């Protein structure tokens, strides 16, 4: 893995960690985070899926692709959240070449040069402070790294995992949130390499392979 790619993967994992809170607490108005997707590697971007709480239907969700590089720097997770709050509020006109679809969702490609990021709120600062105190960061990420997720149904969750030490590219794993969680987490690294559970025939462009663990 190149240094530049490793930077993007680490940032993707940090963004996922920050936005997990907004699965339950709205990010903007009544909109919740329904997914964080690793955009195809060549784009150096992240895709965030927004929608109503408990919404799973792709045609009722909106995805935004936000580039992570700004000059020689990377946008922080807070930068990404601030841009999302702006682009999902009010009316924004997108050129035709910046509107497409992915996995049945409308996808807008954001040009940060045309967007004034929303201000970081007191609640954001409070959550950041409390998270750092309650969950001190470490230099080592757990393996495999969680780089995204998508809520597919009440009983189906897709995890985007980076297991670069053993598997190249991003691996998606479909799990049932109500399953034997502790056992699943312990077995996850080895299960990602189970050929009988793996397929590459997927409409999901955010991963290199898909592992079905819903019956595990």
- Model confidence at 127, pLDDT cuts 50, 70, 90, reads confident
Which two tokens mark 30? 């009544």
User: What pLDDT band is residue 15 in, cutting at 50, 70 and 90?
Assistant: very high
Percentage of the residues of the chain whose pLDDT score is greater than 70: 92
Neighbours of 132 (CB within 10 A): 10
Side-chain half-sphere CA neighbours of 112 within 13 A: 19
CA distance 108 to 91: 13
The stretch 104-127 carries a mean pLDDT of 87
Residue 43: pLDDT over 60: yes
Residues 148, 160: contact at Cβ < 8 Å? yes
pLDDT number for residue 174: 92
202 touches 210 (CB < 8 A): yes
Per-residue pLDDT, 66: 95
Res. 37: pLDDT tops 80: yes
Query: By the 8 A CB rule, do 146 and 159 touch?
Result: yes
The residues near 192 (Cβ < 8 Å, ≥ 6 apart) are 144, 161, 163, 166, 167, 171, 173, 211
Does 130 have pLDDT greater than 80?
A: no
Reduced to 3 states (helix: H, G, I; strand: E, B; else coil), residue 61 is coil
Provide the whole-model pTM.
0.88
Looking at every residue in the chain, the average pLDDT score rounds to 86
């Amino acid at each position: 893995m190149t240094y530049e790619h490793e930077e993007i993967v680490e940032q993707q994992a940090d963004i996922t960690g920050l936005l997990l809170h907004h699965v339950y607490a709205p990010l903007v108005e009544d909109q919740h985070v329904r997914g964080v997707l690793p955009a195809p590697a060549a784009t150096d971007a992240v895709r965030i899926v927004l929608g109503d709480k408990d919404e799973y239907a792709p045609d009722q969700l909106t995805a935004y692709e936000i580039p992570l590089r700004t000059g020689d720097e990377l946008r922080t997770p807070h930068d990404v959240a601030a841009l999302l709050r702006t682009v999902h509020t009010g009316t924004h006109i997108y050129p035709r070449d910046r509107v497409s679809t992915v996995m049945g969702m409308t996808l807008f490609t954001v040009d940060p040069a045309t967007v004034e990021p929303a201000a970081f709120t007191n609640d954001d600062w409070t959550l950041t402070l409390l998270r750092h105190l309650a969950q001190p960061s470490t230099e080592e990420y757990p393996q495999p790294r969680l780089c995204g997720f998508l809520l597919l149904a009440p009983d189906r969750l897709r995890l985007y995992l980076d297991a670069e030490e053993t598997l190249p590219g991003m691996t998606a794993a479909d799990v049932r949130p109500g399953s034997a969680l502790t056992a699943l987490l312990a077995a996850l690294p080895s299960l990602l390499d189970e050929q009988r559970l793996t397929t590459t025939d997927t409409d999901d462009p955010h991963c290199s392979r898909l592992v079905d663990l819903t019956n595990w």
